[in-house]
Amino acid sequence: MPPWSVPEDRKPPIAFETTSTVAAPPDVVYAHLADPRSYIGLSPLIVAVDDVRHGHDAEGRAMAEYVAVERFRLVGPLRWDNRIRVRMVSTPPHGPLVSEVRSPGWVSLRAVVELTPVPEGTRVDERVTAHAPAPLRRFVAGQARQVAAYRAAELTRRMATR
């Protein structure tokens, strides 16, 4: 094993899926989700998005790289701001949005969002896989599931008001 490897890398990833239906057409949902600043409040932990850089990856797909600030409330007024690096690749018009997140503590997460037109608007399917060291796995799994459920509900709310 290379000296930089973390033994926990051999554990299976944290993995789950969420599905929701929103009352907006796929192009509107796609445009919203492809904008990094839309994630402020779309995720209950994200309070800021900084250093947004747009470009294209080696395959010519649109890409945004940015730093998202997650705010964790600890005890009382104490809080901890966790700066995470995000690389989001999009394949318009309705191809998947793939976000890769790197967080301190050897935590990584990959989210793949696919949009499907349905009579009610758009079905949003999100597949999440995450890796974390053993001491953080339970916390990361719980937070990732809570955030995904919140994001689905908030996206549904936002699209209903458009």
Of 142, 75, 132, nearest to 107 by C-alpha is: 132
Report the C-alpha gap between 26 and 12 in whole angstroms.
33
- What percent of the chain clears pLDDT 70, i.e. is strictly above it? 92
62-119 tens-digit pLDDT: 999 999 999 988 888 888 899 999 999 988 766 899 999 999 889 999 999 999 999 9
pTM above 0.95, yes or no: no
pLDDT score of 162 more than 50: yes
